[in-house]
Amino acid sequence: MNPTRQKYTPGHTASATAFQAARELETHGFFLTPLLQPGFDVLDAGCGPGTISTGIAQTVFPGHVTAFDLSQKQLDQARRNAQGREIVNLDFVAGNVDQLPFADEAFHVVFAHALLEHLRDPMPALNEFHRVTKPGGFIGVCSPDWDAIDLTSHPVRVDRAIQAYRTLQDCNGGNTRAGKHLADWLDQAGFTPLMHDLWYEEYEDPATLAEYLAVPLDLAGQFHHATALRNWAASPEAGIRLCWRYATGIRADGNTRRNLVLE
Ligand SMILES: C[S@@+](CC[C@H](N)C(=O)[O-])C[C@H]1O[C@@H](n2cnc3c(N)ncnc32)[C@H](O)[C@@H]1O
């Protein structure tokens, strides 16, 4: 394994993008909503197809949302999604979260959903998130905890296939246990942690999550694991719940918790 290698495991296939595009602020960013106010400027880092970004934009209007991603293809998808919803206070910027092209203290809120688990070292990104957050501003992050995945049945071949996906993501420089570390990471980056908790996402059709895992396994040549997942997900006994962990924090410089004043 190359210790410096980092590869985004799910890839930007049509099925992976459609899987992520089912996410909304209400369903997947509910822990962020109490921190949002009309007039706030928000960074959605690793926005993917941008369906959560549009919900944030509607909530903070007339404030502004910057949807940010490494992939121009994802940003194009996010732009089409926003146009379809007639969202006007959202723009799209391509780049790497390790080096954000934004001024210090540019945002009232920074949000990163399902991003940190794909980074070899999340601290450069989190340090950047701290730099671009206004004093008194907030951060919200969410990542899965694959140790806590909940299956309705455990055929050995399915457990092995899920383990194979995890090994793939971890070898690609990701961290399938990222969810467990969120509050500590916020603290290390200089945020004062506000709260952390978890929720389980239950997939009405287990095949959607199975496909999300199977495609990267296919691409890695691990066809038997991909087939095991697809076959199991198509069976009547299949059910999957993914454990998401989330954390919020405040940039409280000098340990003072200031109320954020809109400029
Ligand atoms: C799993 S998707 C999550 C998308 C969206 N936030 C959601 O939850 O539906 C992760 C996104 O982060 C982006 N990404 C991965 N590494 C990145 C990096 N270093 N800088 C910026 N974006 C990155 C990927 O291109 C992908 O669109």
CATH of the domain at 103: 3.40.50.150
Does residue 240 line the site of ligand 1, with CB under 6 A?
no
What residue's CA is closest to ligand 1, atom 14? 46
What's the mean pLDDT when you consider all of the chain? 93
Does residue 96 line the site of ligand 1, with CB under 6 A?
yes
Report which DSSP code applies to 203.
P
Tell whether 197 is covered by a domain: yes
Q: Which domain holds residue 114?
A: 14-145+174-201+243-253
Tell whether 222 is covered by a domain: no
Distance from residue 90's CA to the centre of ligand 1 (Å): 17
How many structural domains does the chain have?
1
- CA pair distance 221, 261, nearest whole angstrom: 53
Task: State residue 15's pLDDT score.
Answer: 86
Q: What is the mean pLDDT of residues 78-96?
A: 94
Distance from residue 69's CA to the centre of ligand 1 (Å): 6
Tell whether 82 is covered by a domain: yes
Task: State residue 254's pLDDT score.
Answer: 55
Tell whether 57 is covered by a domain: yes
Tell whether 209 is covered by a domain: no
* Three-state DSSP state, 158: helix
Does residue 118 line the site of ligand 1, with CB under 6 A?
yes
Task: State residue 145's pLDDT score.
Answer: 97
Lowest mean pLDDT among 35-39, 47-51, 82-86, 159-163: 82-86
Handedness of CA 56, 57, 59, 64 (dihedral sign): positive
What residue's CA is closest to ligand 1, atom 9? 20
Tell whether 206 is covered by a domain: no
| 50 CA closest ligand 1 atom index | 5
Does residue 115 line the site of ligand 1, with CB under 6 A?
yes
Question: What is the pTM (predicted TM-score) of this model?
Answer: 0.94
Please check the confidence at residue 260 and state whether its pLDDT lies above 80. no
What residue's CA is closest to ligand 1, atom 11? 46
Tell whether 220 is covered by a domain: no
Please check the confidence at residue 255 and state whether its pLDDT lies above 90. no
Q: 248 with 140: CB under 8 angstroms? A: yes
- CA pair distance 128, 99, nearest whole angstrom: 7
Does residue 20 line the site of ligand 1, with CB under 6 A?
yes
pLDDT in tens, 139-150: 999 999 999 999
Tell whether 260 is covered by a domain: no
Task: State residue 85's pLDDT score.
Answer: 87
Any idea which residue has 């929720």 for tokens? 199
* Three-state DSSP state, 65: strand
- CA pair distance 58, 92, nearest whole angstrom: 16
Q: What is the mean pLDDT of residues 105-128?
A: 97
Task: State residue 154's pLDDT score.
Answer: 87
- CA pair distance 32, 111, nearest whole angstrom: 8
Return the percentage of the chain with pLDDT > 70, whole number: 94
Largest interatomic CA distance in the chain: 57
Region of 252 (left: φ > 0; alpha: ψ -120 to 50; beta: rest) is beta
Please check the confidence at residue 71 and state whether its pLDDT lies above 50. yes
Any idea which residue has 């989190």 for tokens? 126
